[in-house]
Amino acid sequence: MKTIKESARETRVAREADVVVVGGGPGGIGAAVSAARNGVDTVLIERYGYLGGMGTGGLVTIIPQLTDYTGKQQIVGLTQEWIDRLIARNAVDYPKKEHWGSLDKELVRYYFQRSFFMTRLDRVVYAAIISAEISKVILNDMVEEAGVKTYCHAWGTEPIMEGNHCKGVIIESKSGRQAILGKVVIDSTGDGDLFPYAGIEFEDNIPPNFRIANLALCFWVDGVDLKKAMDFRMNNPKEFMELNRKAMEAGGQGGFMPSNLPDQDAVVWFHNRFPNKSQVDVEELTRVEFEGRKKMIKTYEFFKENMPGFEKSFIVLSSPQLGTRSSRRMIGEYQLTQKDLANNQPFKDTIAILPDLDRGQESLDHPNMYIPYRCLLPKNVDNFLVACRAFSSDMHVQDNFNLIPHCIAFGEAAGTASAMALQAGVGVKNVDIKALQKQLAKQGVPLPDVNKKVDYKYTGPALVSSAFTPPH
Amino acid sequence: MSAKPSVGTITEPARQIRVCREADVVVVGGGPGGVGSAIAAARSGAKTVLIERYGHLGGMASGGLVNIIPNLSDISGKQHTYGLTLELLNRLDKRGGTSYPEKKDWGTADRKTVDYYLDANLGWFYVREDQNTGKQRVLYSAVVDPEILKGELNDMVLEAGVDLILHSWGTQVVKEGNTVNGVFFESKSGRQAILGKVVIDATGDGDMFVAAGAEYDNECDNKRRTAWLALVFWMANVNIRKYDSFKAEQPEKYKELMQELTKLGGYPVFFKGILKNQENVVWYHCMQPQPERTDAMDVEQLTKIDIQARKRALITYEFMRKHVPGFEKCFIMLTAPQLGTQGGRRITGEYTVSEKDLETDEIFEDTIAVLANNDYGEISARHPTLCIPYRCLVPKQVDGLLVAGRAFSSADTINEAFNIIPHCIAYGQAAGTAAAMSVKGGIQPRKVDYKELRKNLVKQGVNLPEIGESRAVEAPPAPERDKSDYYQKYR
């Protein structure tokens, strides 16, 4: 490998803070808002001009899996606050509360047609489809009201290390290279960008048949006569399938989802998958960006020419950020693995309950996943937390529990813990777990009674449909 | 607790950085200037690498939603911009990805036609008032579909054989003595370096020449467009005809509403119709006026403006929806992924184009572009074009570096009107061609033979005047002017 020497340099310190959060996606927002609300001076660094990560810039405008199969909401806290603010602006779509968990066939069919994300395990589940643009403003409001100092258009590139201690991070922006110092650093980059430099152990093996082995380049199409398109799909299912097949043959993609948001009557959403070798290899990111765009134009041109209802359609936007699904995963103080998926017992240091909905009968037998605080803690750095999909997990856990609401939950715990640790004058590894759980509960996070043994057995009706096929 | 700004520094130790490419020409920034540079360099036979911060090419034209390529003709309808801009427009046309006035209408003062373009599509960009006659005339300006543009630009750079790396932010230069010979960049792969014989700074903001320690100018008073930032957004599902009739039938009520909206902090002005296939979409180009000069390079200011603009977009959306007929069912379709930067640092080059050059009609011996001059009212009427010399792309002090894009060597008076998309493409085409010649000849970019460069550009379809040709328009002598006459005129 050829290298070139970069000389030593003096880098300007732009700011000193208590907590520095790198990355303004769901994990970073959770972390920054929670840290600041708990009274510490917090800086949030975001590469793009808006917050929300995949939920906004990635056009993955969906916050799914908020209830378990029984219809009980397990993810509340900041996620629900985001949704509540969207409700106030009429910018969200979700199943009615009284329908969560319902097994009613008509209702399940209705919601399945409305969105792929609104049903699982023969039941209606609580999933929210969100407006990306309104969300960007809401998230700005949330961090601003909490008193977070945000840097947009700034890329947190490296940690500043001193032995096992992370003193802050280097940022690149139009202001040139600068440093931000902090007492606790939270990696919410999604990809664990700080791990290699901080010497934090991680793994990144992902089998090609996993969901997380794919990148996405989502796009929206407007100007669709959706009634015409849906009628065609309903009345001519064979021709509809045939057209989708032909779209794929022509190098495009088949299948689209209606927006469902208020007044977006002519908007559909194309969500796709592009297999790749690595989501942190810039060459791979470039390749997929090209492939994705080519495919998008082919899809658009094919639909416009052939699909009833798309005659006057136009691409309104391709996602500004590639849809990344997974890359580096920390090997932290505790690593959640496949065997934890088969366990119904909460951890002593549980900081979140995540509904398990994507694994068929397995999910019915193990309806919730408990997340221990330790899987946000690296082994070898003492003032560092991970609050994003790079949390300590093997590929099986990662494949199921790295979505938007999950990352917000990790962030909420990490941000709260760092504030409490600083106020108590202890390291984040020595934070009082009971006090942390009490505080999270106060913030509206549902948590289990960690002292009670769970004796659980599924007794409901046998499973009929799978997640990916329509209900019978 | 409040955050404490700090002025201290930390020491970053020396380190070895992986070299991921060695090329002839390295272009930093994939906006109009960078795309022009990379395509021209690669087509001229240089091994070319292009790095771009975002996942798409096109800069302001795509990611900034400033999807307008204006001023391709002067006010008489005579086309001046050809080259890569025209090639791009022809390709977009094949995909239905551009709208522009029909050729027969360029320069027309026919009232019906002028009104049609004023109403149809981004009004002002299609029409200017001819100061010689006092009549409005139609220009050749094109509006492009940003998404189709992204796809087409990808195809063009790839077909040219450019090695493109997206999601990569060029941050520092590799420099030996006074010569730049590569760049450091950041990406998800960590910090890496690309070495090159010529580096082209197409960052728009001169990020590379600042890193190289070159002399530059960032003087720009806050009355200029270039001193402002903008966040563009699109509103969809608007019933424009309903809005039109409301405005026509109740002009007083409309005026009142817009005053109220302004008071609330919203934006009263929008443009109808972006493209012919986007009937129900309107375009808000939200300039953020600054009390003082904006530095588009200050990350704190960029953050503040982004947050402010988003709030104002939401106020506008909610107000229009509630009060203005035709907007009842509108929604914000998207805000620009990139903040609209309009000006900033400008290299101090071997030649600095200034307002004087607007008056002299000089055809420089190193002219690499001739640009329609439509935005200076009476001055434009006398001087319908401006020539741009190659020397304003060449830094005065630093070797191995060229500047392509709005950071070309120019006074703020000139930069205001000649730093937009077709101009940047033209600067890029010249810089890329010159860089390839410099590599081939084993000479510094500043030593490139002007005649040869011009010959190559003409071969590529660039429109250049003959040296010695006169461009002056018959008119009485110009009045005495001072600097304040040189502001872009919005009509």
What are the pLDDT digits (tens) for A176-200? 999 999 999 999 999 999 999 999 9
Could you give the CA distance from residue B491 to residue B93 in angstroms, rounded to a whole number? 28
pLDDT digits (tens, 9 = 90+) for B397-415: 999 999 999 999 999 999 9
pLDDT digits (tens, 9 = 90+) for A378-424: 999 999 999 999 999 999 999 999 999 999 999 999 999 999 999 99
What length is written for chain A?
472
Residue A458: Cβ within 10 Å count: 14
Q: Which of B63, B189, B207 sits opposite A281 (nearest CB)?
A: B189
Q: Which of A197, A267, A282 sits opposite B165 (nearest CB)?
A: A282
Q: Sign of the C-alpha dihedral, residues A326, A330, A335, A339? A: positive
Contact call for B188 and A281, based on CB within 8 A: yes
Contact call for A134 and B150, based on CB within 8 A: no
Could you give the CA distance from residue A51 to residue A31 in angstroms, rounded to a whole number? 13
Per-residue pLDDT for B253 more than 90? yes
Contact between B154 and B79 (Cβ < 8 Å) = no
Contact call for A280 and B14, based on CB within 8 A: no
Structural domains of chain B in order of their starting residue, each with its CATH number = 17-100+143-218+344-491 (3.50.50.60), 229-341 (no CATH)
Looking at chain A from residue 170 to 199, which residues have their Cβ under 8 Å from any Cβ of chain B? 170-179, 181, 191, 193, 196-197
Chain B environment of A150 (Cβ under 8 Å) = 303, 307
Per-residue pLDDT for B2 more than 50? no
* B286: nearest Cα among B35, B66, B17, B443: B66
The residue to which tokens 């690309």 are assigned: B194
pLDDT for the residue numbered A289: 94
Contact between A173 and A179 (Cβ < 8 Å) = no
Instruction: Name the least confident of A417-421, A430-434, B234-238.
Output: B234-238
Could you give the CA distance from residue A77 to residue A408 in angstroms, rounded to a whole number? 9
Looking at chain A from residue 273 to 302, which residues have their Cβ under 8 Å from any Cβ of chain B? 279-283, 285-286, 289-290, 293-294, 296-297, 301
Residues in CB range of B50: below 8 A, 6 or more apart = B27, B30, B34, B35, B37, B38, B157, B162, B163, B164, B165
Instruction: Name the least confident of A236-240, B70-74, B285-289.
Output: B285-289
Residue type, B353: V
Contact between A168 and A185 (Cβ < 8 Å) = yes
Chain B environment of A149 (Cβ under 8 Å) = 3
Q: Sign of the C-alpha dihedral, residues B32, B34, B37, B39? A: negative
Looking at chain A from residue 124 to 143, which residues have their Cβ under 8 Å from any Cβ of chain B? 131-134, 136-137, 140
Contact call for A140 and B311, based on CB within 8 A: yes
Per-residue pLDDT for A326 more than 70? yes
- Residue range A63-74: mean pLDDT, rounded: 97
Quote the tokens at residue B419. 């730093």
For B346-368, b/e burial (b = at least 16 CB within 10 A) is bbebbbbbbbebbeebebbebbb
pLDDT for the residue numbered B1: 37
The reported pTM is 0.94
- Residue range A235-258: mean pLDDT, rounded: 93
Q: Tell whether A452 lies on the interface with B, counting CB pairs under 8 A.
A: no
* Nearest-CA distance A389 → chain B (Å): 15
The residue to which tokens 């006092």 are assigned: B134
Could you give the CA distance from residue A76 to residue A100 in angstroms, rounded to a whole number? 14
pLDDT for the residue numbered B74: 94
Residue B67: Cβ within 10 Å count: 28
Q: Sign of the C-alpha dihedral, residues B44, B47, B52, B55? A: positive
Structural domains of chain A in order of their starting residue, each with its CATH number = 13-208+326-472 (3.50.50.60), 217-318 (no CATH)
pLDDT for the residue numbered B292: 66
Q: Sign of the C-alpha dihedral, residues A172, A174, A176, A182? A: negative
**DSSP class per residue in A329-398:** EE-BSS-B-HHHHT--PPPTTEEEEEE--SSTHHHHHS-EEEEEGGGGSBSS-TTEEE-STTSSB-HHHH
Q: Tell whether A312 lies on the interface with B, counting CB pairs under 8 A.
A: yes
Task: Tell me how far CA of residue B335 lies from CA of B62, B285, B311, B326, B382, in angstroms.
Answer: 12, 10, 12, 21, 39
For A351-363, b/e burial (b = at least 16 CB within 10 A) is bbbbbbbbbeeeb
Residues in CB range of A345: below 8 A, 6 or more apart = A370, A453, A454
Residues in CB range of B489: below 8 A, 6 or more apart = B375, B376, B377
Per-residue pLDDT for B3 more than 60? no
Q: Are strands B271-272 and B98-99 parallel, antiparallel or unpaired?
A: unpaired
Could you give the CA distance from residue A147 to residue B444 in angstroms, rounded to a whole number? 52
Could you give the CA distance from residue B55 to residue B201 in angstroms, rounded to a whole number? 19
- Residue range B457-483: mean pLDDT, rounded: 81
Which of A432-436, B141-145, B463-467 tops mean pLDDT? A432-436
Could you give the CA distance from residue B119 to residue A80 in angstroms, rounded to a whole number? 44
Could you give the CA distance from residue B188 to residue B250 in angstroms, rounded to a whole number? 55
Contact between A141 and A85 (Cβ < 8 Å) = yes
Could you give the CA distance from residue A343 to residue A198 in angstroms, rounded to a whole number? 32
Chain B environment of A140 (Cβ under 8 Å) = 307, 310-311
Q: How many CB pairs under 8 A join A and B?
A: 260
User: How far does Cα B241 stand from its chain's mean position?
Assistant: 32
Per-residue pLDDT for A472 more than 60? no
Could you give the CA distance from residue B268 to residue B46 in angstroms, rounded to a whole number? 49
Contact call for A9 and B12, based on CB within 8 A: yes
Q: Which of A6, A175, A265 sits opposite B184 (nearest CB)?
A: A6
Contact call for A8 and B13, based on CB within 8 A: yes
* Nearest-CA distance B391 → chain A (Å): 26
Instruction: Give the H/E segment covering residue A433.
Output: helix A433-442
What is the Cβ-side half-sphere exposure of residue B395, based on CA atoms within 13 angstroms?
29
Q: Which of A133, A219, A263 sits opposite B335 (nearest CB)?
A: A133
Chain B environment of A301 (Cβ under 8 Å) = 95
Could you give the CA distance from residue B142 to residue B158 in angstroms, rounded to a whole number? 24
Q: Tell whether A57 lies on the interface with B, counting CB pairs under 8 A.
A: yes
Q: Say what the alpha-carbon torsion angle B418, B424, B430, B434 is, to the nearest 10 degrees.
A: 120
* B308: nearest Cα among B322, B320, B327, B291: B291
Contact call for A14 and B150, based on CB within 8 A: no
Could you give the CA distance from residue A423 to residue A417 in angstroms, rounded to a whole number? 10
